[in-house]
């Protein structure tokens, strides 16, 4: 996660709550992506430090448990940078340019004064791929909007394994195995292999599959063997990750827009109860409900979005009925949400206290996490360097 400072309820429902659950199912690696912050906010690095520590306090306070998960800072594990650079040698520019968010972000953030026509910003998805693959992660918990980034990671892993995953003596082994398939099939294999080599290193596994599919009279087993041979020996050094999609409720901001601290429409995880109460009591409602006796429509009211997340079926029914018949007032309608939010964040605020009071505690947890991350990243890099001929 990019360091954005203290976290709000949108982060909690959109990601953190799920992370707390995931740590009981998988060994998890969660990190503050401080280099990523620099890809878009390189003009103002001074905010990074505080935002990183504030973010960690919230992670710990919501229940991310350092005895189960590894928490660390990206820039403290320079192995990410080495892998990013090694990948950069063979990843075509076109792959990066076609990431859907690339042009979109250049325009959007450009309007806010960030010039993103930089080498680093174009390389953003490459760095993300390295972030994932350096831990040989096989699952990445992301939202729908991030699936393209995981997909490009898969392509990069495939290309790497194809280019550098060849076993030594593979050609001879393949030749001997194909011979056993009989002279006709051996001929097919040689022809395919030639075609494959002619196309150079740009052949993907899909292309290999297409070539093999075109050949008549091959059994399924023969086909599988041929895929393997055409791929070139198929040693998996970098793992292709899968997306781990989890349905999360969309919690909007107090004005019905996306929740964001910079829009001033957020409730923070460490918000005081009186501030939660004030913020909800003053939040806008259906504009058609000017007076208490005017009926309203929950669909046009941002409070309804909060009820969707926090209220049970009975309460929701009470809201719909009360709102549309002007049977309840807006302040009355807001009270169950105020109570639910305060109940949810009270233990978070309480757990945060010990970390706020003792920053060294947080620093030590993160230092341990960085060490663990570096050890694992080193293992992957050793294999990568060896595969790329750099272990001399």
Question: What residues line the site for ligand SF4 (CB under 6 A)?
Answer: 285-286, 289, 296, 298, 301, 303-304, 319, 323, 328, 330, 333-334
Q: Which is nearer to ligand SF4, 246 or 315 (CB)?
A: 315
CB of 338 to ligand SF4, least distance (A): 11
Q: What is the 3-state secondary structure (H, E, C) of 80-108?
A: HHHHHHHHHCCCCHHHHHCCHHHHHHHHH
Q: Give the nearer residue to ligand SF4 in terms of CB position, either 279 or 374.
A: 279
> How far apart, in Å, are the Cα atoms of 253 and each of 51, 121, 256?
20, 28, 5
Report d(CA 229, CA 117) in Å as an integer.
41
Whether 69 and 137 have beta carbons less than 8 Å apart is answered as: no
Smallest separation (angstroms) from ligand SF4 to the CB of 251: 16
CB of 316 vs ligand SF4, minimal distance in Å: 10
CB of 140 to ligand SF4, least distance (A): 37
CB of 299 to ligand SF4, least distance (A): 9
Closer residue to ligand SF4 in complex, CB, 100/327:
327
Residue 234 or 256 having the CB closest to ligand SF4: 256
Do 203 and 196 meet the contact criterion of CB atoms below 8 Å apart?
A: yes
Half-sphere exposure (Cβ direction) of 368: Cα atoms closer than 13 Å: 11
Q: Name the β-bridge partners of 71.
A: 30
Q: Which is nearer to ligand SF4, 81 or 328 (CB)?
A: 328
Phi, psi dihedral angles at 175 (to 5 degrees): -60, -45
Say if CB 234 and CB 165 are below 8 A apart.
Answer: yes
Comparing CB distances to ligand SF4, the nearer of 190 and 278 is 278
Q: How far apart are CA 204 and CA 231, in angstroms?
A: 8
Residues β-bridged to residue 139: 242
Q: Which two tokens stand for residue 323?
A: 């709102």
Q: How far is the CB of 293 from ligand SF4 (least distance, A)?
A: 12
CA distance 323 to 317: 10
CA-only gyration radius of the chain, Å: 27
d(CA 331, CA 121): 46
Shortest distance in whole angstroms from residue 301 CB to ligand SF4: 3
Map tokens 């719909």 to a residue.
320
Task: Return d(Cα 53, Cα 372) in angstroms, integer.
Answer: 19
Q: Which is nearer to ligand SF4, 303 or 366 (CB)?
A: 303
Q: Which C-beta is closer to ligand SF4: that of 193 or that of 289?
A: 289
- Closer by beta carbon to ligand SF4, 39 or else 285: 285
Minimum Å gap between C-beta 262 and ligand SF4 is 25
CA dist., res. 106 & res. 114, Å (int): 8
Beta strand ranges found along the chain (DSSP E): 28-32, 69-73, 139-140, 242-243
Q: Report, in Å, the least distance between residue 328 CB and ligand SF4.
A: 6
């Amino acid at each position: 996660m990019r360091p954005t400072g203290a976290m709000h309820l949108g982060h909690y429902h959109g990601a953190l709550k799920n992370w707390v659950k995931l740590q009981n199912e998988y060994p998890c690696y969660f990190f503050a992506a401080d280099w990523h912050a620099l890809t878009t906010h390189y003009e103002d690095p001074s905010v990074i430090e505080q935002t990183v520590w504030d973010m960690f306090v919230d992670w710990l306070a919501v229940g991310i448990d350092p005895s189960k998960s590894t928490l660390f800072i990206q820039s403290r594990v320079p192995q990410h940078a080495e892998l990013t650079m090694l990948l950069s040698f063979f990843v075509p520019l076109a792959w990066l340019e076609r990431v859907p968010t690339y042009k979109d972000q250049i325009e959007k953030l450009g309007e806010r004064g960030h010039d993103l026509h930089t080498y680093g910003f174009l390389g953003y998805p490459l760095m993300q791929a390295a972030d994932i693959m350096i831990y040989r992660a096989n699952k990445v918990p992301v939202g729908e909007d991030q699936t393209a980034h995981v997909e490009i990671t898969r392509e990069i892993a495939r290309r790497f394994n194809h280019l550098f995953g060849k076993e030594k003596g593979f050609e001879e082994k393949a030749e001997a195995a194909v011979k056993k398939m009989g002279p006709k099939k051996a001929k097919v294999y040689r022809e395919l292999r030639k075609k494959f080599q002619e196309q150079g290193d740009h052949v993907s596994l899909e292309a290999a599959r297409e070539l093999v599919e075109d050949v008549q009279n091959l059994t399924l087993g023969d086909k599988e063997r041929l895929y393997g041979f055409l791929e070139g020996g198929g040693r998996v050094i970098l793992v292709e990750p899968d997306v781990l999609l989890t349905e999360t409720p969309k919690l909007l901001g107090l004005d019905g827009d996306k929740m964001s601290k910079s829009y001033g429409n957020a409730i923070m995880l460490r918000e005081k109860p009186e501030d939660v109460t004030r913020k909800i009591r003053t939040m806008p409602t259906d504009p058609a409900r000017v007076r208490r006796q005017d009926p309203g429509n929950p669909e046009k009211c941002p409070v309804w979005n909060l009820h969707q997340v926090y209220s049970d079926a009975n309460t929701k029914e009470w809201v719909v009925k009360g709102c549309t018949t002007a049977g309840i007032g807006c302040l009355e309608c807001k009270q169950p949400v105020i109570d639910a939010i305060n109940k949810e964040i009270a233990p978070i605020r309480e757990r945060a206290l010990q970390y706020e009071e003792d920053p060294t505690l947080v620093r030590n947890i993160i230092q341990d996490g960085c060490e663990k991350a570096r050890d694992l990243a080193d293992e992957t890099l050793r294999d990568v360097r060896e595969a790329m001929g750099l272990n001399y």
